[in-house]
């Protein structure tokens, strides 16, 4: 054959092989081209070469995408509680694409091959599938690849170490007992598969609703894509569009639920140790708190209160009268919280174990025998909390705690943790009528445990329960606060804890905390003091330490540390009206109590810098700047606007970096100009009524500002039926006016008068109400108490506050 002819023949053979290879499924199976389109109302259903696809405009700002290799399964989720809203969507199509338009986004679905791209209403690209990659399978693993935008930042993903900006990192989600974890440890205890992307002045949220082990890659080891994948199940995600991060969090918590208001006492200081070994120990600590005038609202018992670590039991030698002890604590203004673990000891005659057997609630192997794993009590069975009967049995059991006067349940070891940390994957779970294995059930186990605990305590008391959990999944905020597990007494862990709490706040969990002082090891005096100062500005304020460490009650570090720590606990209690309003905002809008600066200053590059990423807002107006306990100078960045030093009222211009001299007795805190901060008189617990005057600190600013003040009884669910007191308070510098809106709700405020404390208004501003001059006095404000050497010069005036609207001019 002629060489040219031979070459041509060889080329044709090679081309034919390429075409055949391209058509045949390979080790990576793509969704492929769209072959059929069905529009049912506002829902789009597609059949592609290798998949079934369902795309739903879930609301005007939320788009849901479901992809399965075979038929789509039942629409079941433990995370999502919202139903689709009327999105006002229009759907059109041509030969190249299908287009969905709402008021919040335009989604373009390409046909050849299938791909999704989402744009803002004015045509800017928000998020798109990476061309050539899109969504695909490798075996059972399903993945979606999104184009990595220039300069894109990634926030959230729940309980993850590392930096505020996740760009360049990869993470796995598999709830893990991560004892003595570090900044690099991954995964940790909880799974929140939700992140926020920020680029080109835009932001979006992406929630991947899949409880199998999942992986997220934000440009790690590549510069082409950000991806998310799961080891099984469907590709099921929600893309949330909004101009700002706050709006994204509102939509995400609309999807997955918001926390009910916690009981007021749970916002007070909580004292814990692993372990208080007897009732005598507990009452000694309780009386010492009161004798030393350390405000507190709770004492928590670790596993040694139980009979041989068996859940739902008491060691009657150490704790002979639990109900009586709870009553004696209540007389001191203290509530009792106890730990509960999911492992139920396999022991004949143990009542709870026997009732569980009778109700058939335990996780099983495929052959029908219950799974037994070893943990604190020995060999245990584990309730299947994904089954309605398992949750009902547990809820009934925890009711006994409520009847004994226990007010809070601390849900621990619920990753599930067992010795060996290798629970078999072939274990069977009910999954509410959709039977599955450990592979899909593990990450939602703790969520359903806290659900059962919450429902049991609520049914037994009729009051708001307090729940704490170590592990969880998206939606855990509906039932429980979350703390960050077994941390270490070090400066690095203190600052890591701040980042973890900020990230959890960016992921829908507003009620969070860490073991103040560190659980593993003993802190120095300086570290303990700094950590306790910070603790006063975290949502859940619990001091906790391990059994083999130095005792860590505030009086154990010497008189100087005690005085400093007590001043910050005192401040926490005076700030409770401000803090409670922030919790109400979280319960109604999803905005966290502890707020990364990325929420309010999303597109300011400084807030992501390593020097400033730990800074955060506590509520809407107090900026906290954490530093190592040994640091004597630190770099501070105050975002744009004017700021006040919280202690002295010294003015600071925002939008610039500055070097701050640090004092071991003073946590750097700054107040946003325009802030409205309600405070109350000093109390020793929330069981004590404050003085009848609400102290309202007003910080003069150049922009109009407002604050929604909120009260209720702090314990019941009456607020859900209008049993609350709320009013909007505003400052308008253009009109030189302080306004009080009409009261909403039926509850009567516990405060009969309001004292206005005016910061930045001068020593004697002229104030009028309804044309009448108000009596203004010059004074000072000592935020840390009367021993504070430097004080802010302020003006004060006391007024009554009727339920009707009124205003004051200045």
Q: Find the angle CA(796)-CA(802)-CA(807) to the nearest 5 degrees.
A: 60
Order of strands, sheet of 43-48, starting from the edge strand that comes earlier in the sequence: 34-40, 43-48, 52-59, 62-68, 235-241, 202-208, 194-199, 153-156
Does residue 599 have a cis bond before it (omega within 30 degrees)?
Answer: no
- b/e for 495-517, b at 16 or more Cβ within 10 A? bbbbbbbbbbbbbbbbbbbbbbb
Supply the DSSP symbol for 663: B
Q: Using DSSP, state whether 661 is helix, strand or coil.
A: strand
HSE of 624, CA atoms in CB hemisphere, 13 A? 25
Q: Which pair of tokens denotes residue 168?
A: 């360049």
CB atoms under 10 Å from CB of 790, counted, come to 14
What's the CA gap between 636 and 661, in Å, rounded? Answer: 10
Specify whether the backbone of 720 is left (phi greater than 0), alpha (psi in -120 to 50) or beta.
alpha
Quick check: is 415 catalytic?
A: yes
For residue 435, what are the contacts with CB-CB under 8 A and spacing of at least 6?
A: 428, 429
Short-list 504, 506, 525, CA closest to 514: 504
Most distant CA pair in the chain, distance: 112
Q: Which two tokens stand for residue 762?
A: 């001068």
User: Which stretches does DSSP call E strand in 49-152?
Assistant: 52-59, 62-68, 90-93, 97-101, 106-110, 115-119, 125-128, 135-138, 141-147
Alpha-carbon gap, residue 727 to 736, rounded angstroms: 20
Which member of 159, 297, 430, 486 is catalytic? Answer: 486
Task: Name residues whose C-beta falls within 8 Å of residue 228's C-beta, 6 or more positions apart in sequence.
Answer: 143, 144, 193, 206, 208, 214, 215, 216, 217, 237
* Given 234, 302, 412, 649, the catalytic residue: 412
What is the C-alpha R_g of the chain? Answer: 28
Q: 624: which residues sit within 8 A by CB, 6+ positions away?
A: 534, 537, 615, 616, 617, 618, 667, 668, 669
- The token pair at 7 is 């070459």
The whole-angstrom separation of Cα 110 and Cα 99 is 9
Question: By C-alpha distance, which of 219, 214, 261 is closest to 233?
Answer: 214
Q: Is 347 left (phi over 0), alpha (psi -120 to 50) or beta?
A: beta
Mapping DSSP to helix (H, G, I), strand (E, B) and coil, where does residue 505 land?
Answer: helix
> Does the annotation count 432 as an active-site position?
no
Contact 145, 129 (CB under 8 A): yes
Task: Determine the distance from the C-alpha atom of residue 44 to the mean position of all C-alpha atoms in its chain, rounded to a whole number.
Answer: 33
Would residue 486 show up in a list of annotated catalytic residues for this protein? Answer: yes
* Active-site residue identified among 234, 341, 415, 585: 415
What are the phi and psi torsion angles at 484 (to 5°)? -90, 20
Q: Residue 445 is inside which H or E element, if any?
A: helix 438-461
- List active site positions: 412, 415, 486
């Amino acid at each position: 054959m002629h060489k040219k002819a031979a070459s041509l023949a060889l080329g044709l053979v090679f081309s034919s092989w390429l075409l055949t290879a391209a058509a045949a499924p390979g080790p990576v199976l793509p969704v492929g081209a769209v072959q059929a389109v069905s529009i049912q109302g506002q829902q789009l259903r597609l059949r592609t070469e290798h998949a079934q696809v369902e795309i739903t405009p879930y609301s005007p700002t939320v788009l849901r995408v479901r992809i399965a290799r075979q038929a789509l399964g039942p629409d079941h989720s433990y995370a999502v509680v919202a139903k689709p809203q009327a999105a006002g969507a229009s759907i059109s199509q041509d030969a190249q694409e299908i287009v969905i338009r709402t008021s919040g986004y335009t989604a373009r679905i390409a046909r050849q091959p299938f791909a999704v791209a989402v744009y803002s209403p004015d045509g800017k690209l928000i998020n798109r599938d990476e061309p050539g990659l899109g969504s695909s399978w490798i075996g059972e693993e399903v993945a979606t690849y999104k184009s990595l935008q220039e300069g894109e930042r990634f926030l959230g993903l729940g309980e993850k170490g590392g930096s505020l900006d996740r760009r360049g990192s990869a993470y796995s989600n598999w709830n893990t007992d991560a004892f003595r974890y570090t900044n690099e440890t991954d995964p940790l205890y909880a799974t929140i598969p939700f992140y926020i992307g920020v680029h080109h002045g835009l932001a979006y949220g992406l929630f991947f609703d899949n409880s199998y082990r999942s992986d997220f890659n934000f440009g790690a080891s590549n510069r082409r894509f950000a991806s998310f994948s799961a080891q099984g199940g469907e590709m099921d995600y929600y893309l949330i569009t909004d101009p700002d991060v706050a709006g994204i969090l509102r939509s995400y918590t609309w999807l997955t639920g918001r926390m009910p208001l916690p009981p007021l006492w749970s916002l007070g200081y909580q004292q814990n140790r692993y372990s208080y070994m007897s009732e005598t120990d507990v009452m000694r600590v309780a009386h010492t708190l009161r004798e030393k005038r350390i405000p507190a609202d709770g004492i928590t018992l670790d596993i040694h209160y139980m009979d041989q670590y068996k859940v739902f039991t008491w060691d009657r030698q150490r704790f002979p009268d639990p109900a009586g002890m709870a009553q004696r604590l209540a007389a001191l203004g203290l509530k009792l919280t106890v730990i509960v673990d999911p492992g139920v000891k396999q022991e004949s005659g143990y009542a709870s174990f026997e009732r569980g057997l009778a109700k058939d609630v335990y996780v099983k192997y495929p052959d029908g025998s219950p799974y037994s794993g070893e943990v604190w009590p020995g060999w245990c069975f584990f309730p299947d909390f994904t089954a309605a009967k398992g949750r009902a049995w547990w809820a009934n059991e925890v009711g006994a705690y409520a009847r004994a006067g226990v007010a809070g349940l601390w849900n621990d070891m619920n990753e599930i943790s067992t010795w060996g940390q290798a629970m078999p994957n072939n274990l069977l779970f009910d999954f509410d009528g959709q039977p599955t294995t450990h592979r899909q059930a593990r990450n939602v186990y703790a969520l359903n445990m806290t659900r059962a605990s919450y429902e049991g305590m609520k049914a037994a008391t009729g009051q708001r329960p307090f729940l704490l959990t170590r592990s969880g999944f998206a939606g855990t905020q509906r039932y429980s606060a979350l703390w960050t597990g077994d941390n270490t007494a070090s400066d690095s862990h203190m600052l890591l804890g701040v980042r973890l709490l900020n990230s959890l706040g960016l992921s829908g969990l507003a009620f969070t905390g860490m073991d103040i002082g560190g659980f593993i090891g003993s802190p120095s005096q300086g570290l303990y003091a700094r950590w306790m100062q910070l603790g006063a500005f975290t949502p859940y304020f619990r001091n906790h330490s391990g059994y083999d460490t130095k005792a860590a009650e505030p009086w154990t570090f010497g008189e100087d540390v005690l005085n400093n720590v007590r001043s910050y606990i005192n401040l926490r209690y005076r700030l409770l009206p401000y803090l409670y309003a922030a919790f109400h905002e979280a319960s109604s809008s999803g905005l966290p109590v502890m707020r990364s600066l990325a929420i309010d200053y999303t597109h300011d590059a400084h807030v992501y810098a390593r020097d400033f990423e730990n800074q955060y807002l506590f509520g809407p107006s107090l900026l906290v700047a954490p530093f190592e306990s040994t640091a004597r100078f630190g770099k501070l960045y105050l975002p744009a606007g004017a700021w006040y030093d919280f202690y002295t009222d010294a003015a600071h211009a925002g939008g610039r970096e500055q070097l701050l001299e640090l004092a071991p007795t003073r946590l750097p805190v700054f107040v946003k100009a325009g802030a409205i901060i309600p405070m109350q008189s000093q109390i020793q617990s929330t069981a004590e009524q404050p003085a009848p005057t609400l102290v309202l600190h007003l910080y003069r600013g150049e922009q109009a500002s407002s604050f929604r003040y909120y009260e209720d009884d702090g314990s019941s669910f009456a607020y859900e039926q209008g049993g609350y007191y709320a009013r909007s308070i505003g400052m308008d510098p253009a009109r030189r006016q302080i306004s009080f809106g009409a009261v909403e709700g039926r509850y009567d405020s516990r405060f009969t008068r309001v004292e206005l404390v005016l910061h930045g208004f001068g020593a004697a501003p002229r104030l009028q109400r309804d044309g009448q001059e108000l009596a203004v006095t010059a004074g000072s404000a000592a935020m840390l108490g009367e021993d504070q050497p430097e004080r802010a010069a302020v003006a004060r005036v006391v007024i009554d506050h009727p339920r009707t609207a009124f205003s004051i001019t200045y």
